[in-house]
Structures are given as C-alpha cells and as structure tokens.
Amino acid sequence: MKMASIILVTLFLFNLVFVPSMALPFGFGFPGDYDQQQPPQDNEQNQDKNQKLVNDGNNGNLRVGFYKDSCPNAENIVAGALAEISKTNPNAIANLIRLQFHDCFVVGCDASILLDYSPTGDKVEKSSMFNGQLLKGADIIDDIKSKLEEQCPGAVSCSDTLAFSVNEGMAIAGLPRRAALGGRRDSIYSLASVAEDNNLPMPNWPLEKMVELFTRKGFTIEEMVILLGAHSVGSAHCDVFMERIYNFANTRKPDATLPTPVVNELQQICQNPGTPQFRNPPVNFDETPTVLDNLFYKNMITRNKTLLITDAHLLNDPRTIPVVQQMAGDEGLWQKRFAEVMVKLSSLNVSTGTDGEVRKTCRSTN
Ligand code: HEM
C-alpha cells in the first residue's frame, strides 16, 4: 500500500508541468533531514506498539476546563502567545489549522505530526511526502508550548497545545470565541507509513476518493464541504495547482472549467515552469487570507475560481453543489458549522486518561 502511494505521488509529480526536465519537486517535499535523527531500533515489542497506535483510540473524555487545577491559565497563555506570534506571522493561523487536520487524520489528534523522530527508528509522519515542506506551524507550537512549560511544567499536552492554538486562532480569524475541550494525550510514536496509507488527501484526487476518506474518518459529505472552507485562509503554492493553468490533463491547455480571467490572474503569479522566471510562490486561496469568511465559496459561485482540483470538484457534483451554494449565501451559517465541525475534527480518535503521555517538548517523546 505504501509503495502504491509512493508510485501515485511520483506519477503526479512528473505530470504536473509542461517540460518534464523542469518538473519541480512537488511541495509536499522530501525533507531528508529527519532521517539522520532516528535511532535505528525496531523490534517485535515496538511493532506491537505500532499496531496498537494504529488500531486503538477513543473519542470521548475531552472536556472544557480540563486544566482547571493543573494549569488554570492554559488557554490565556496560549491566547497571549498566539496574539504575539500573529503580529509578525500572518500565516500562523492557517498553518496551525492545516497542521491539526494533518495530525488528526493520521491515527488521531495526538500530536504525532510534531515528532521529529520515533523510538522505533521508522520515518515520522512529518517526513512523509504527504506532509513535507509545505506543512508549517511546528515551530509555532514549540513557542507556545515553551510558554506553557514556563508556567505549568509537564501539565499541558502537545495535542492540547495544538487544539487550544487552533481554537484561539479561529477566534482571531473572526469566529466567535469558544472554550476549548482539553484532555488529549500525546502519542509516543509517529509513522510516515500510516500517513501514506490513504489517510491524507492529495490535491489531484477525484471526489470519490475524498468522500471515501472523509466518510471513513466519520464525516458526512456536508461536513467535508464545510471543512474544506478552511481554504478561506492561507495559501497554496503554484506547483500544487500548476497543471490547471498550463497543462491540464496533459492537454497543454488550462483547465476548461477555469474562466480565462482566473487563468490569467493565476498565470501572472505563477510563471510557466518551463521558463527561467519560474518561482514557486504561495498564492492566497482568496482575497482575505487571514479571515475565516465565506469568500472561498463565493468565489466558486460567482467566478468559478478555485486553486485546487479537489476544491473544484465541489462545484461539479449534486451532493456538494447545494452545500457550496448554501455556504456562499450565508457566512454566519458557515462560520457556525465550521466551528462545530472543527470540534469534531479536533476530537478525532484522541488518546485520553493514561494512554500515551504529556510530552515536555513536542518534537520528542519524554
Ligand atoms: C481533499 C481535502 C484537502 C486537500 C486535497 C487539501 C490540500 C491542500 C493543499 C495542497 C494546500 C496547499 C499547501 C501549500 O501549497 O502550501 C492546502 C492548504 C491548506 N489547507 Fe487543505 N486540503 C484539504 C482539506 C483541508 C481541510 C479539511 C483543512 C482544515 C480543516 C485544510 C486546511 C488547509 C489550510 C488552512 C491551508 C493553508 C495552509 C497555509 O497557508 O499554511 N485543508 N490544502
């Protein structure tokens, strides 16, 4: 399965651009620097634990006020730190929302995405090409976690640090502030192979694969469309959608469903990869990349504008179009539903009680 995924991604990489020799490494990247940090040990006991990690987990036992005794100020500490960080890093909130999605879809919301090495010596999730160089925000969590450690040593898990940060980030980005659920425990393993085992979506997937994945994770199609509204914040790099504006399905023409003004707009930012001018800048999904508004859906309805093929599918299926239309027409409704579905996402298959651990630093197990 892992090999099949690798072949799939490789084919995708080399079909992205006009000139094969100029094919860029797809931004999901191969950051080899993690390899050196992994202690080489693997034994039966560890493999059993890996199996447990993959199969186990539960969704319950999270609650508001979890740190009332052990770190009563936890949410305020996170809020203060994130407010500071967002002043100099406008991408912070988008980075964190995506980081949480990629954490929660692989095994569960257990901060396994943050580990730089796994005690088994296996490649960690972070080093997978499904995550790679375009997944950002681990350094933001390092900063916030160190503030928590200063005031409440060993109390707040990395998975709750991420969840509290995303919850606060959504408020900074315009959603009503709500109390966060706490009680998640951190994983003691992280495996790239699990990330690659059909647990993370690729931007060239057909709708059926998206539906299969989100359904397997417990989300309805409506919830999937609502979650994809996260593409209201942040950006996608040119190489992720380059095919659509220069060489769709190897036709050497843009995707016919993209209107010419949209193609022109995107070509202005993303030079043809066959030219020496080519850079790979990030392109904002919409005109308000730090605000969680419904412009992502409005752009779809009014201008047929999407960056990712997977987002474009939402306009082409009778199960998804009505949801896009509804969300485009009612920003308050989308914001309310998005906040609710994000609670569901951030509660996915969590470890609680005495499972896992509370890491002191998020990049390594204790
Ligand atoms: C079919 C499902 C999805 C696919 C294929 C997908 C793919 C992508 C890709 C390719 C990028 C651009 C990465 C880059 O070039 O830097 C991206 C960005 C982003 N995605 Fe998704 N995504 C999906 C669903 C989601 C969901 C469910 C969420 C959150 C709930 C999410 C949140 C984000 C955010 C916030 C960004 C911007 C990140 C930043 O600017 O740092 N995505 N996504």
Q: Tell me: the pLDDT tens digits for 296-339?
A: 999 999 999 999 999 999 999 999 999 999 999 999 999 999 99
Q: What are phi and psi of 258, to 5 degrees?
A: -90, 125
What average pLDDT score do residues 129-150 get? 93
CB of 203 closer than 6 angstroms to any ligand 1 atom: yes
Residue 276 predicted with pLDDT over 70: yes
The neighbouring-strand residues paired with 185 are: 351
- What CATH number matches the domain at 207-345, 3.30.450.20, 1.10.420.10, 3.90.1640.10, 1.10.10.10? 1.10.420.10
Confidence of residue 273 (pLDDT cuts 50, 70, 90): confident
Please report, for the chain, the start and end positions of each structural domain, with discontinuous segments joined by +.
2-30+40-195, 207-345
Catalytic residue list contains 102: yes
The neighbouring-strand residues paired with 64 are: 181
What per-residue confidence (pLDDT) applies to 296? Answer: 98
Residue 32 predicted with pLDDT over 90: no
Q: How far is the CA of 70 from the centre of ligand 1 (A)?
A: 34
What average pLDDT score do residues 122-137 get? 90
What per-residue confidence (pLDDT) applies to 60? Answer: 62
Mean pLDDT, the chain, whole residue set: 86
CATH topology of domain 2-30+40-195: Peroxidase; domain 1 (1.10.520)
Look-up of token digits 């495996």: 191
Look-up of token digits 């920003």: 331
- In 3D space, the residue among 156, 149, 160 whose CA is nearest the CA of residue 104 turns out to be 160
- In 3D space, the residue among 163, 161, 191, 182 whose CA is nearest the CA of residue 66 turns out to be 182
Neighbours of 269 (CB within 10 A): 13
Residue 22 predicted with pLDDT over 70: no
149-203 pLDDT, tens digit per residue, is 999 999 999 999 999 999 999 999 999 999 999 999 999 999 999 999 999 999 9
CB of 210 closer than 6 angstroms to any ligand 1 atom: yes
